[in-house]
């Protein structure tokens, strides 16, 4: 079979680097006008028209310039040029410095241990942080009926704010804990730490006395002694307020909850419950 003289088969043994060089040459050739035009300037005339030039120079009362349109050197009287407008048009663009947004520094509970940004209550045992999950308590009267938060005149007796389940889902090891409370709007009534009473598979947060005539409710809890410090106030830059709640005595094994006080000692039914378990003693190795 005769080979068409106008067709050339690619050499399978040709080095691929030659194709790369050829491609790079084509790309550079295509980009050359764009690179050159980037250095073009404008000559603004007093009649409002302009010339796009590669460069220009003033020679006496004449201006000599290289026209990018006609690809040749040309001249015109210098008094036809609006030099103020020409200077303004050829000013390099102003470089606006990038403004770095100020990121609020993270609050460090301990060296190398930042407090997460999410709102909530975090327990710290000296090593790690655990976020406590809120639970909703129910109010039951002494006849084991659930009250819907309504005060009914003529109803006298006791009611209890209770959590379902014999123990909390979050467990802590026995020892001294610190709790960090991070909320955008901390409760004006404050917070407290209460010990829960386990009873019939439920945990009692507090006891409520209901007056028969007025229906006034008086709440009481097994509240523990704590200190609360503002370790970081809120700020306009985005810092959330952080409170540190510390029990004055080490927490013994049992059921606990951090509660929010609303007013007159009343407790919000949403509490942050946790359990403290006994620490496992370290067994000493037998002497050889």
Kindly report, residue by residue over 138-193, the tens digit of the pLDDT.
Answer: 888 765 444 444 444 445 567 788 999 989 988 876 665 799 999 998 988 899 99
Structural domain including 76 reads: 18-89
Does the residue 8 lie in any domain?
no
- What lies within 8 Å, CB to CB, of 131 at 6+ separation is 116, 118, 120, 121, 122, 123
Does the residue 2 lie in any domain?
no
Q: Which of 31, 57, 89 is the last residue of a domain?
A: 89
- Residue 277 confidence class, pLDDT cut points 50, 70, 90: confident
Q: What are phi and psi of 84, to 5 degrees?
A: -65, -45
Does the residue 149 lie in any domain?
yes
Q: Are residues 37 and 167 in the same domain?
A: no
Q: Is the dihedral of CA 143, 145, 148, 154 positive or negative?
A: negative
Please report the pLDDT score of residue 1 as a whole number.
46
Please report the pLDDT score of residue 4 as a whole number.
44
Decide: 229 and 167 in contact? Cβ < 8 Å.
Answer: no
Q: Which of 69, 176, 184 is CA-nearest to residue 119? A: 184
Q: Are residues 68 and 121 in the same domain?
A: no
Q: Which of 62, 89, 116 is the last residue of a domain?
A: 89
Average pLDDT of the residues of the chain: 77
Does the residue 35 lie in any domain?
yes
115 burial via Cβ count (<10 Å: 0-12, 13-18, 19+)? buried
Does the residue 11 lie in any domain?
no
Number of domains in the chain: 2
Decide: 209 and 156 in contact? Cβ < 8 Å.
Answer: no
Selected residue with higher pLDDT from 3 and 54: 54
- Residue 22 confidence class, pLDDT cut points 50, 70, 90: very low
Q: Which of 40, 60, 89 is the last residue of a domain?
A: 89
β-sheet bridge partners, residue 228: 245
| Cα 204 from Cα 161, distance rounded (Å) | 6
Q: What is the pLDDT of residues 68-79, one digit of tens each?
A: 999 999 999 999
Cα 13 versus chain centre, distance: 58
């Amino acid at each position: 079979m005769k080979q068409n003289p106008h067709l050339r088969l690619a050499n399978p043994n040709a080095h691929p680097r030659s194709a790369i060089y050829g491609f790079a040459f084509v790309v550079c050739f295509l980009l050359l006008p764009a690179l050159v035009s980037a250095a073009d300037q404008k000559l603004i005339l007093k009649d409002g028209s302009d010339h796009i030039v590669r460069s220009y120079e003033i020679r006496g009362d004449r201006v000599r310039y290289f026209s990018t349109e006609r690809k040749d050197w040309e001249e015109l009287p210098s008094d036809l040029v609006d030099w103020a407008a020409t200077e303004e048009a050829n000013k390099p663009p102003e470089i606006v410095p990038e403004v770095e947004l100020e990121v609020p520094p993270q609050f460090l509970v301990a060296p190398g241990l930042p407090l997460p940004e999410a709102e909530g209550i975090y327990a710290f045992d000296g090593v790690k942080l655990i976020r406590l999950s809120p639970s909703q308590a129910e109010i039951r009267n002494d006849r084991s009926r659930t009250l819907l938060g309504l005060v009914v005149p003529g109803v006298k007796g006791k009611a209890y704010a209770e959590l379902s389940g014999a123990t909390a889902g979050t467990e802590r090891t026995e020892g001294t804990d610190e709790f960090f409370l991070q909320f955008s709007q901390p409760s004006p009534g404050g917070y407290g730490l209460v010990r829960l009473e386990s009873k019939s598979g439920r945990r009692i947060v507090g006891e409520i006395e209901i007056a028969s005539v007025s229906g006034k409710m008086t709440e009481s809890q097994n509240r523990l002694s704590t200190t609360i410090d503002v370790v970081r106030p809120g700020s306009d830059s985005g810092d959330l307020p952080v409170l540190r709640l510390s029990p004055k005595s080490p927490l013994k094994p049992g059921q606990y909850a951090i509660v929010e006080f609303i007013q007159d000692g009343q407790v919000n039914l949403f509490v942050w419950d946790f359990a403290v378990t006994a620490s496992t003693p370290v067994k000493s190795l037998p002497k050889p």
